[in-house]
Structure 1
Amino acid sequence: MLRRLAVTAATSAAALSFVPAAHADTGPLGLPLLFGKPAAQDHLQIAVSGAGDGRDGTYELECGPVGGNHPQPGDACDRLDQMSASGQDPFAPVPADAQCTMQYGGSATARITGTWHGRPVDATYKRTDGCEISRWQGLVPVLPATGA
């Protein structure tokens, strides 16, 4: 009887520790939340200026579930998930020792604030050199594609 109880407890713990989706609602200890209020979802505010052609504005992006007034919320959430899954920090600044090409990609700027994967985000973007342009392009469609 005691052995059966131990096996059942171990099997139940193993089943509960499996979280199949990138944005599965979790409770304490990272276990799936089966009952009650879901964990806070990823929520970002994206302010874009200088991008032109109707791309400027402030957008809300919610992931897990997808929502907000972002023009491409599903694609934007997928891009952020893809970067995170490959070990990249989508909001990391250009390293201070980076050697960047001296090129100008236009006057577009952006600021992303909010919460992503449970941590606060406050990141700024510009297109003032090759590193910054590449960083911006890496976040399309979270940030709008620019022609410059």
Structure 2
Amino acid sequence: MIRHLAVAALATAATAALLPGAAQAAPAGLAQPGARPGAAVTAARPAPAAAPFARLTLTLTGDRAAGRAAALTLTCGPVGGTHPAAPEVCAALKKTGGNVFGLPPRDGFLCTAEYRPVVAAATGYWGKRRIADRKTFGNACQLGIEAGTIFTPARS
């Protein structure tokens, strides 16, 4: 019995030296009444971070005079990326099931009739569905009306 306790104490010291944070956990045979002798000591490992539910790259080409960034990244679930209005955009995309061009048009905006085409594209995934959508708009104003804040975040 004494020999068994000495081996358990040595195992605890070795585990504490090799695994940070294991010093607080005593061997199962010593710490828990009724545990079987020689039970393995396991250190708790942190759970791996979950992959985001959605990950998109949003790009604009054409109409460089509008001064928009060429590409934005967006992750949803958890919300993140370089998009300045990520929480709002993730909420809007959730309503459309990830359909980037499926939002209802915004009201109260008027656009000029000039033709300065803007191509908006979204690539990545929404859940398990691969996204590779692209649409050409007559100008940046039309993009803002039809695609909401997904490609044209509101400026404060």
TM-score by length of 2: 0.49
Q: Could you tell me which residue of structure 1 aligns to residue 28 of structure 2?
A: none
Structure 2 unaligned spans of 5+: 1-46, 103-112
Alpha carbons of 1:77 and 1:51: their partners in 2 closer, same or farther (altered >3 Å)?
Answer: farther
Which of the pair has more CA radius of gyration?
2
In the alignment, structure 1 residue 48 sits paired with structure 2 residue 36: no
Alignment RMSD (CA, Å)? 3.2
Q: Return the offset for 1:107.
A: 1.7
Query: Would you say 1:38 and 2:50 are equivalent positions?
Result: yes
Preserved CA contact (<8 Å) 2:60 2:120 = yes
Whether the 8 Å contact between 1:127 and 1:136 is mirrored in structure 2 is no
Gaps of 5+ in 1: 1-34, 93-102
Change in 2 beyond 3 A, CA 1:115/1:91: farther
2:71 partner amino acid: T
Deviation at 1:139, TM superposition (A): 2.7
* Structure 1 residues 32-61: Cα deviation after superposition (integer angstroms, max 9, x where no partner): xxx765354200001112263321311100
> What is the match of residue 89 of structure 2?
76
Equivalents in 2 of 1:123, 1:141: separation in Å? 16
Q: 1:128: Cα distance to partner? A: 3.6
Q: Is the 1:126–1:136 Cα contact (8 Å) retained in structure 2?
A: no
Structure 1 runs of 4+ aligned residues shifted over 6 Å read 133-136
Superposition pairs for residues 1-148 of structure 1, below 5 Å? 38-49=50-61, 50=63, 52-84=65-97, 89-91=99-101, 106-128=116-138, 137-144=145-152
How many Å separate the matches in 2 of 1:122 and 1:104?
28
Q: Aligned partners of 1:56, 1:105: CA distance in 2, in Å?
A: 20
Structure 1 residues 48 and 80: alpha-carbon distance in aligned structure 2, compared to 1, 3 A threshold: same
Amino acid at match of 2:118: A
Q: Deviations over 1:49-77 (max 9, x none)?
A: 22633213111000001100012111111
TM-score in terms of structure 1 length: 0.51
